[in-house]
């Protein structure tokens, strides 16, 4: 018997039981569709995170005072270490050739006042390199200068969130904001930057010269962080090593003592997020495997019922000359078609949903071609695997018994 007539028989049989065929393929359909959408969500969020990491600063190394520990997937600083200083930043800038820009950094959550308005915001102190390293851009007004740093001037650049909280709709440029009873003149406005990888609002800040913050507000000589920009991505690891050596020497740490600082490079962050997304991918694969297994069992159940219900048909076909393999093929084709039907509609559904969510839902989803190909193969394999058993069962029947069964 040729392929075409086998297929024709299978199609006819499936068309005779449309509802059952659809129900059988429903499991596969939902499984495939959800896998495609979930993979797209995973890829999309991974892309988003990578964009955020890149947005935090290109080729950046962050030096944190004290030991960083990972808690719940996020880096948190522990202890209160006072050894990291602006002097370290100067030495890094002068002594390490791979370093392009350096910005010692300190911040404090404080109330700022404008007229009768008061709002808590992050008072950020750093140098002129800070906006360049972290990718903050001046939207209006201007940056403060080296001179402002030397004289510890009371000037500030303000972020969008802080503007909203303090000024509302009013233009902040030229206005005076009071922090810790000290008046600061707003000379510039940062472009909006959004949230960082930890979900913190990067626009809720008032940026002032570091010496002003250290002397007039927090009254300390150490900083909690130094941001460093490296000349190129390839140099990040080498520069990290050099910075570590320099700081250990500068902090007079002998061989027995641990680092009193933590270096986190852009590569580390990417690696961390990659691990998270790999975990997510494994989860998707797991869920996919389960849902496809359920879909396969759906096919199995329907095919077993079909075989039982059509025992007499099998007997008739055998009586007029169908071989065992003809019968196996007929039922195998049926389950294959169910598999492909479910898979095909599932792919269409999954792709449609992905595109729809991207278009109207304002989600970041990335359609993954591999997942579609894999899905197609999985459909075929499920069709065969879960169809083989009922098909063989059908072919094993003695023709006479099949005919006389009631």
**Collapsed DSSP state (helix, strand, coil) of residue 70:** strand
Stretch that binds other proteins, among 207-215, 248-256, 320-328, 360-368 (CB under 8 A): 320-328
Q: Does 316 bind other proteins (CB under 8 A)?
A: yes
Choice from 185, 312, 355, 361 touching other proteins (CB under 8 A):
312
Select 228 or 328, whichever has its Cβ closest to other proteins: 328
Q: Are 78 and 320 in contact (CB under 8 A)?
A: no
Measured from the CB of residue 310, what is the shortest distance to other proteins in angstroms?
Answer: 10
Q: How far is the CB of 311 from other proteins (least distance, A)?
A: 12
Q: What would the two tokens of residue 302 be?
A: 């329907």
Q: Of the listed pieces 78-86, 207-215, 255-263, 307-315, which binds other proteins according to CB under 8 A?
A: 307-315
Residue range at the interface with other proteins (CB under 8 A); choices 74-82, 128-136, 297-305, 323-331: 323-331
Taking alpha carbons only, the member of 373, 383, 372, 384 closest to residue 33 is 372
User: 3-state SS of 154-220?
Assistant: CEEEECHHHHHHHHCCCCCCCCEEEECCEEEEEEEEECCCCECCCCCECCCEEEEEHHHHHHHHHCC
DSSP state of 262: E
Please list, in sequence order, all residues whose beta carbon lies within 8 angstroms of the beta carbon of residue 71, skipping any fewer than 6 positions away: none
Between CA 157 and CA 134 the distance in angstroms is: 14
Q: Does 16 bind other proteins (CB under 8 A)?
A: yes
Quote the tokens at residue 177.
């904001």
Check binding of 321 to other proteins (CB under 8 A). Answer: yes
Give the CB-side neighbour count of residue 85, counting CA atoms within 13 A. 9
397 binds other proteins (CB under 8 A): no
Q: Which listed residue (313, 348, 368, 376) binds other proteins by CB under 8 A? A: 313
Closer residue to other proteins, CB minimum distance, 273 or 317 = 317
Given 191, 270, 326, 368, the residue binding other proteins (CB under 8 A): 326
Residue 90 or 398 having the CB closest to other proteins: 398
- Residue 295 or 315 with smaller CB distance to other proteins: 315
Question: Applying CB under 8 A, does 403 fall inside the site for other proteins?
Answer: yes
C-beta of 326 vs 368, nearer to other proteins: 326
Question: Tokens representing 374?
Answer: 């894999």
Contact, 228 vs 133, CB < 8 A? yes
- Name the residues that contact other proteins, by CB under 8 A: 1, 5, 9, 12, 16, 312-313, 315-326, 398-401, 403
């Amino acid at each position: 018997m040729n392929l075409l007539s086998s297929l024709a028989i299978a199609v006819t049989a499936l068309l005779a039981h449309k509802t059952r065929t659809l129900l059988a393929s429903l499991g596969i359909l939902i499984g495939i569709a959800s896998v495609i959408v979930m993979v797209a969500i995973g890829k999309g969020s991974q892309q988003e995170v990578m964009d955020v990491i890149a947005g935090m600063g290109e080729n950046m190394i962050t030096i944190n005072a004290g030991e960083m520990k990972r808690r719940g997937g996020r880096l948190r600083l522990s202890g209160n270490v006072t050894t990291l200083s602006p002097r370290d930043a100067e030495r890094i800038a002068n002594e390490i050739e791979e370093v392009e820009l350096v910005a010692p950094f300190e911040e404090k959550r404080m109330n700022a006042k404008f007229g009768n308005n008061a709002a808590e915001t992050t008072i950020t102190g750093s140098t002129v390199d800070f906006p360049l390293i972290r990718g903050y851009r001046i939207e209006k007004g201007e940056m403060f200068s080296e001179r402002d740093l030397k004289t510890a001037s009371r000037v500030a650049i303000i972020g969008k969130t802080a503007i909203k909280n303090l000024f509302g709709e009013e233009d902040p440029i030229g206005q005076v904001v009071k922090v810790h009873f000290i008046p600061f003149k707003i000379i510039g406005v940062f472009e909006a930057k959004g949230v960082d990888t930890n979900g913190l609002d990067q626009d809720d800040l008032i940026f002032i010269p570091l010496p002003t913050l250290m002397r007039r507000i927090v009254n300390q000589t150490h900083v909690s962080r130094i941001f460093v920009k490296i000349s190129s991505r390839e140099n990040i690891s080498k520069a990290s090593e050099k910075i570590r050596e320099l700081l250990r020497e500068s902090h007079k740490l002998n061989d027995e003592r641990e680092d009193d600082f933590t270096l986190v490079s852009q590569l580390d962050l990417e690696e961390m997020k990659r691990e998270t997304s790999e975990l997510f991918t494994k989860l998707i694969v797991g869920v996919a495997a389960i849902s496809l297994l359920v879909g396969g069992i759906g096919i199995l159940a329907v095919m077993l019922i079909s075989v039982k219900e059509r025992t007499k048909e099998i007997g008739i076909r055998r009586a007029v000359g169908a071989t065992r393999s003809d019968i196996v093929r007929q039922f195998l084709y049926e389950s294959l078609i169910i598999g492909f039907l479910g898979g095909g509609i599932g792919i269409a559904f999954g792709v449609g949903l992905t595109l729809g969510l991207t278009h109207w839902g304002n989600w970041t989803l990335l359609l993954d071609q591999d997942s579609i190909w894999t899905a197609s193969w999985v459909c075929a394999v499920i069709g065969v695997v879960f169809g083989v058993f009922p098909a063989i069962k059908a072919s094993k029947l003695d023709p006479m018994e099949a005919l006389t069964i009631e």
